[in-house]
Structure 1
Amino acid sequence: MAVGDSAIPAVAKVSISGAALAALLHRCAAAVGDCDGLLFGRASRLPAPPPPLSDYDDAAAVPPPPALSISVSGHCSLSHPSSLSDALGRFQPPSAPPASATVGFFSSRRRTALRPSMREIAVARSVSKSLAPHHPLLFLLVSPSFNPNHSTHSYDYRAFLLSGPRLVPASLTVVNVGPCFRDQYHTFTAESPLPWLPSPQPSTPAASGHTRTTIGEQKAVDAMVDGFGLERLQGVIGSAAGQAGEMDGMYAGMLKRLEKLAREVEKSNLRVLEQVVFPASAVHTSQCCSCLFCLLDISLELASDVILHG
């Protein structure tokens, strides 16, 4: 949204995840002094609710405008304070462009009122003019404090949306995991380097095992899964029958591997038994043979004595 735009949607929903808020508060508390930085996330227009049904004055019914949703998922902050702007409050973008979309910025001031200063208003207008987002710029003001012995830390924060030359307060919802936030699970969007693989249809060549793939897609799959082709991966994410077939194949391979390991263990046990049992029996046999030879010697000596003295 440009600086001159002053219209803010009637329903603007600003939210931040619990993990992102905890990381942001930790950054503000760990800083030596005041600090600021950019806020990353996603802004989208929620689908408009259906118009109310009425039997009267249907022509004058105006559908409600779509609600705006701004979700904060992370932040970026440098070590020294006032890293976003110069002495005149002009925005200084970072040298490396951020990987995520910038939805606003934050500022941390210790033990101060939760009201935007003239400098922060100037920075907000400069950031909005530089980034030119398609939604009102979000500003999050944080005020950390602690007691003299640093045993208790407190954090006060407040969200604002840029409306023309002013920063208008907005409610901020902390989104955590739990039953109370189950209605927000549908907004999750996964980010993965895997290519898009539509489920194969029975009449398509993919169902017969003749899928035309590109080298880039195969490299993307090889970087994530070792020894798994696109056809097999497409079968896993396809219909339930394909999933069952791939799972059966995987379990069959695991059973073959276990059988191979069992045979190797059995062979190693036989070798150990040969080294332990058979040498002992050989020693026992040699001892028995020596005893027999001794008995034969004694019997021969007795026989010779009888012959000589008889």
Structure 2
Amino acid sequence: MKKIVLVLFSLFNIFLFSQTLGSKLEKKTLALGEVGTFRVTISNLQGKEVSSAPKNELLPFHFEEIKDSTTAQPDYYERIIEFAVFEEGNFKIPALDFRIGGKMYNTIPYEVEVVNTAQKGDPLNDIMKNKEVNLQITDYWQMYKWYILAALVVLALIFIIYQIIKYGKKRKNSPQLMTNQTLKDLELLKKKKYMENGDYRSFYVELIDIARNFMTKQYDIPADVLLTDDLIEVMKLNNTISPENEKIVEEIFLRGDLVKFAKTFPDQTMMSADFEDMKGFVKRSSKDLEAEELRTGV
């Protein structure tokens, strides 16, 4: 008799303190795209924690979860999933894992049949006619404002890049910068000691090359390609270079041609004078350009 009482007492405790896991599939046959409902309930939780697959990841691949809501109370748990299937056929919902207070439980498996209820030749009718909506300027702004702002940003960047390049080129070709660079080139020529060594031919060849390059960039005269006689004529027609500077350039260039063809043999004093005159011409070039700007009103 005592054994019977103990067995009954044990069974009573199991039913009294155990959790009840239940699941329900409202419809086992669904139309293509029709919304179905799958429900899982757990009662008699006694405050135990329930864990399962994350939201929208409980059902298998073919089940498109539309809504996944969970209700959790100290003694009751409910998870309701609304879903749809967009392919015809039979699809299985396997036994799903639910962990209750550290112990694993499983729902029973289900099978869902999805059928296409549309018949061939059925007319397709709109539920309601299309409605025309009059859009205001503010509506268009809300629709396209990000595209407009992006376009303005791109245009601003293009303008900034253009100004930077333009400023960089201007700085690179500025008269003062060209003057300083040419003076450095002249100092490098002096350090080669052509004058001290009597190498007048090398001295005049490099001196005139430096002068031609300087005039080409500083005065925008094609001095690097013109013959000496043509260059002198262009200088006089151009009127950018002052008469004083024209005279220096003309004398040094003509002397350079004579040296080149061995028709004259200048000494160190002459070479030194021509070097200083060319250096003075380079330094005074900025005054020529200032006078030209005043004359043309640029």
Structure whose residues are more often helix by fraction: 2
In our comparison, the structure showing a higher alpha carbon Rg is: 2
TM-score (normalizing by structure 1): 0.25
